[in-house]
A and B are shown apart, each in its own frame.
Chain A
Amino acid sequence: MSRYFIDRNAKYLVLVCASTSFIILAAIAIFILKEALPAFQHVGFTHFIFGTTWRPTMGGFGILPMIIGSLAVTLGAMVLAIPLGLGCAILLAEVAPHRVRQFLRPAVEILVGIPSVVYGLIGILLIVPLVRQIGGSGYSVAAGALVLTAMVLPTIISISEDSIRAVPRRYKEGALALGATHWQTIWHVLVPAARSGITAGIILGMGRAIGEAMAMIMVTGNAVQIPTSPLDPTRTLAGGIAVEINYASGLHENALFAIGVVLFILILAINSIAILAIRRGRHAQDVC
């Protein structure tokens, strides 16, 4: 077999690979939609999204409490993770000596690979009892948000650090030459210049947070109610699917797939925003 033969046919091989993955993705999307359709037809899309009663075995199919639950834990996690992550990224990119960075950077990267069930276990053993000290049963929005914070931090840190490092060297030199202090340079020049990359990191972290099922089942308490305090139990969309799928049949099962469609749309929207943010960032850097 000559290398010319390989050369001529390699493109077909990669085409087969590409179309296989595309077809699998399309098949998944079609399958979820097909399974969800009876639920949307039976309940109606608006009633499904804005209904507040979830009693699927007695005909209650409203997922608003789960949508709010998902948004509450995600928002809580973001409020904590953004300042912490950004601070850590600045430390790694600008402040820490080379040797500290050599140790910290791989440590952060290892955190990304820890399975979510392990985060959930840590949540049950550490965070839930801690929240119980403040009030309630401990299974709560607060516990969910704290566990998610730990889960999304690595994503935010590594992407933010990369984008701060990617800021052209002349920006920093220019700022220092104009008499700005190191901190002024970081806060007024480097961070704003890396803004699009940092945004992308935050949004990717948000995508991970909103889709997390296992860890959320373990720490949020799974009660389907609109939480009125951070100490109230709640249920997320992804957690709702995973909790009930074992026992669901008929319309109940269709409704769980319909939750999947809503989650699919939410995550698609978040990822599209991330892609737009990254594109806009590239564009801005080209102009400079």
Chain B
Amino acid sequence: MKIRKTWKWLLLPMVAALLVATFLLAGCSSGSLGTITESGSTTVQPLAEKLAGAFKAKNPDVNIVIQGGGSAVGIKAANDGIVDIGAASRELTAADPTLVKHLLARDGIAIITHPSNPVTNLTMAQIIAIFSGNVTNWSQVGGPNKAIDVVAREEGSGTRTAFQDLVMGKALIKADAILQSSNGALKTAVSGDPQAVGFLSLGYIGSSVKALTINGVAATEANAKNGTYPVVRPLYFLTKTQPTGIVKDFIDFCTGTDGQKVVAEEGYITVD
């Protein structure tokens, strides 16, 4: 009798453990036959999700799994064959493996200030000096005698990485810059501080902040498209080999008329 009782006290927690395990495993069920997997750049991620949604509306049998991870992860995963499509929000370099690039869209990065700031133009050299902490007062770049509050994105952000590559080069963004964790939060921070300067994806620019001209060129979709605006990065889908089957269908859809309509709706620059 006593043994049976002890046994029961052991059995029930085991049942509970089983319940928890079942619950956890339920989240890991595998996909069906027609599944496309994509991972990589978090800048591409929201766009890829919208594109996948539009594609699925026309092809309900196909399942598309979109994941983040960053451009580096996307390049590696595509090269290792872990995913069908890798996503990158930067140009591939000599250090990267050779992959088939499918240009999905372009994204410009604007330098923004508070609308009341009299400064309207900065040169590339001035931008580097401000973000690296060598220039700390607006009077040094033709503005009022006020300190510059540098607002940047957090470490690992695609926009920060692209800004680092396209603008800063070898110089580092200063350690005491204020960091915001999304394009939206950064925009709010700059729109509330007359002394602030920050960088923002073109799709997010609105009347609450002012986009500066860089070397005299305005941050507009047209200038980004014709190549005169200097801070533009490509958004790529990457495949290991020339795609076939549903993967080809999906990529063709994204680079085609329907897909580019989604690209434009999301505020990115279309490719022709």
Contacts and interface: CB of A to CB of B under 8 A. Distances in A.
Interface of A: 12, 15-16, 19-20, 23-24, 27, 54-57, 124, 128-129, 132, 136-139, 217-218, 221-225, 232-233, 235, 242-244, 246-250, 252
B42 A23 contact: no
Given A15-B12, A19-B13, A23-B20, A249 B70 contact: yes
A250 B13 CA distance: 35
B167 interface: no
A136 B158 CA distance: 28
A55 B155 contact: yes
B189 A222 contact: no
Interface in B156-194: 156-158, 161, 175-181, 185, 188-189, 192-193
9 contacts: A23-B13, A137-B178, A137-B196, A223-B178, A223-B179, A242-B181, A243-B154, A247-B155, A247-B157
Given A55-B155, A222-B181, A247 B42 contact: yes
A217 B181 contact: yes
A225 B154 CA distance: 13
Contacts of B158: 247
Nearest to B159: A247
Contacts of A23: 13, 16-17, 20
Given A20-B20, A247-B70, A129 B157 contact: no
Given A247-B70, A247-B158, A248-B156, A221 B179 contact: yes
Interface of B: 8-9, 12-13, 15-17, 19-20, 24, 42, 68-70, 72-73, 147, 149, 151, 154-158, 161, 175-181, 185, 188-189, 192-193, 195-196
Nearest to A55: B155
Given A23-B16, A23-B17, A223-B176, 13 more contacts: A16-B16, A20-B19, A27-B20, A27-B24, A57-B156, A57-B161, A128-B192, A137-B196, A217-B185, A225-B176, A243-B154, A247-B70, A249-B70
Contacts of A248: 156
Contacts of B151: 137
Contact of B13 (A15, A55, A223, A252): A15
A246 B188 contact: no
A255 to B, nearest CB: 11
Contacts of A247: 42, 68, 70, 154-158
B188 A124 contact: yes
B87 to A, nearest CB: 13
A233 B149 CA distance: 11
Contacts of B178: 137, 139, 221-223, 233
A218 B147 CA distance: 21
Contacts of A124: 188, 192
A222 B17 contact: no
